[in-house]
Copies of this chain bind each other. A is one copy, B any other.
Amino acid sequence: MAPNFDTYHLLTPSEAALWAAQRLSLFSPGASLKAAEIGDGNLNYIFRVVDTATGVSVVLKQSGDTARISDQFKVSPDRNRIEHDVLVRYNAVVPGLVPQVYASDPVLNLTAMEDLSSHRILRKGWLEGRLYPRAAEDLAEFSVKTLVATSDGVLDPKQKKALVRDFINPDLCEITEDLVFTEPFADLRRRNLVSQALLPFVEKELYEDRRLRLEVAKLKAGFLSGSQALIHGDFHTGSVFVREDSTKVIDPEFAFFGPAGFDPGVMAANAVFALLSARAEGRENEAGTFLVRFVDRFIERWKDLWSVSVSDPSFQVPGYAEWHLNRVLSDAAGSAGLELCRRTVGIAQVKDLTALADPQARLRAQRASVRAGKALILGRDRVRSGNDYWKTVRRAAAKEGLD
């Protein structure tokens, strides 16, 4: 029986191969295609389809109306449309820094894109001690270009409003609102994952610190109603494919118009995880260098690009560019701090910390992460350079003997 592509269902690998043969001009007629499901994320299914004769390959990403990890967890398949449409925009703004997109299927909630099997996920590469000399500059370039292009003063206000509407993303924003901005600071649903050894520290430093929770509430208000730019929304080292000579940002399914500082802040925090993980095990890695270079390059490129991009005369008045960048940098530092806390105590943790085999080393890295996170949130209006991040993290690490 021929497969039915007219109603949504999760494809089998052989259906995925057939879909690719039928819908994509990438493969010759009659090519022998093989497919496998290779996904390991929480939400979606990933099929890799290869022409066994030529080696030409493609990736199909399919989204259901529940999460891959649990069909109890409903999440709108509209995320596939958002990811596709954002990737198309990214290909126009930062070509080469994202996978190419070949086709989408709104019935099957499926997007066909460039196969990046020759790359490695940045988080994994760093855990293996690899070096990626281009990553900091490429990711800063990606972040600045995508954010500035969709900012007020650059994008026409009517075009912006149309995009705001297209990229309203209730289900995936809810995940971020709950997991980043709420639960790490008040374990309302008892979903946090905190060891007994860490719990007293977390209770004191996060749950019971009202000054911190007030600052977190301010950041949450900005996330809920600050539609500054089209943000990736999940811009961490697990959303980046790297080779020594190539950087590709993937997975923008959380994209929506939000605070421009969110993306660079989350990326900075994920460099800190790699750094703390290496220190906790006495390994060397490049994450500290990456952190400073990424932030400084972000600031430098933002200034360059903003000055040549801003077309609304209202925003060309002296002092505005600096004021606006400072807002972005405060939000970035705040977002970095949130990410450091939430990936340490929340439901979605990072391998950098969880994979630390020695419980004492893990505990020290976790505490240092929370300390750095708090310092970045509370001091976010004074974090204005890569070195400011570096000093904050070093102080937090030193308190836990990780210097």
Which A residues lie at the B interface, using CB under 8 A? 152-153, 157-158, 160-162, 164-165, 168-171, 173-174, 177, 181-182, 185-186, 188, 210, 213-214, 216-218, 220-221, 224-228, 257, 313-315, 317-320, 323-324
Contact = CB atoms under 8 A, between A and B. Distances in A.
Contact of A226 (B216, B218, B225, B313): B225
Nearest to A158: B170
Most B CB within 10 A of own CB, among A158, A217, A318: A217
A214 B161 contact: no
Nearest to A218: B323
A177 B153 CA distance: 12
Contact of A319 (B181, B214, B227, B313): B214
Contacts of A165: 165, 168
Contacts of A319: 210, 214
Contacts of A227: 225-227
A323 B257 contact: no
Nearest to A258: B225
Nearest to A222: B226
The 4 closest A-B pairs by CB, nearest first: A152-B224, A158-B170, A213-B317, A214-B319
B225 A314 contact: no
Nearest to A260: B225
5 contacts: A160-B224, A164-B164, A188-B313, A218-B323, A225-B227
